[in-house]
Amino acid sequence: MDIIIRTIAKGIVPFVWLFGAYIILHGHITPGGSFSGGAAIAAGVVMLVIAYGTKNAEKVLHEDNLHLLEAVAGIILVFLVINEMFFREQTKVLMGYFNIISAGQVLLLNVAGGLMVLSALITIIYMFSRR
Amino acid sequence: MSQISMSIKEIKRKVAFTVVMAIFISSFMFVVNSPSFGSFNGYKETPQYYISNALKETGAANAVSAIVWDYRGFDTLGEETVLFTSLVAIFTVLMIKKD
B61 and B28 housed in the same domain: no
pLDDT for residue B27 is more than 90: yes
Confirm whether the ipTM is greater than 0.90. no
B92 Cα distance to chain centroid:
28
| Residue A19: closest CA among A45, A37, A33 | A37
Query: Band of the pLDDT at B15, cuts 50, 70, 90?
Result: very high
Which residues are within 8 A (CB) of B51 and not within 5 positions of it... i.e. 6 or more apart?
B63
Q: What percent of chain A has pLDDT over 90?
A: 31
pLDDT for residue B19 is more than 90: yes
- Domain borders along chain A are 3-129
B91 and B59 housed in the same domain: yes
| Residue A124: closest CA among B88, B7, B61, B29 | B88
Average pLDDT, integer, range A21-27 = 90
B60 touches A at CB < 8 Å:
yes
Please report the pLDDT score of residue B4 as a whole number: 62
Which residues are within 8 A (CB) of B76 and not within 5 positions of it... i.e. 6 or more apart?
A81, A109, A113, B68, B69
Average pLDDT, integer, range A17-28 = 90
B60 and B84 housed in the same domain: yes
B51 and B89 housed in the same domain: yes
B60 and B30 housed in the same domain: no
B93 touches A at CB < 8 Å:
no
B47 and B93 housed in the same domain: yes
Query: What's the mean per-residue pLDDT of chain A?
Result: 86
Which of A77, A106, A116 is the closest to B60 by Cβ?
A106
pLDDT for residue B59 is more than 70: yes
B5 and B29 housed in the same domain: yes
CB < 8 Å to B68, chain A: 33
Least confident of A11-15, A95-99, B19-23, B29-33: A95-99
Dist CA B26 CA A25 (whole Å): 46
Count structural domains, chain B.
2
Dist CA A127 CA A116 (whole Å): 17
Whole domain around residue B30: which residue ranges? 1-34
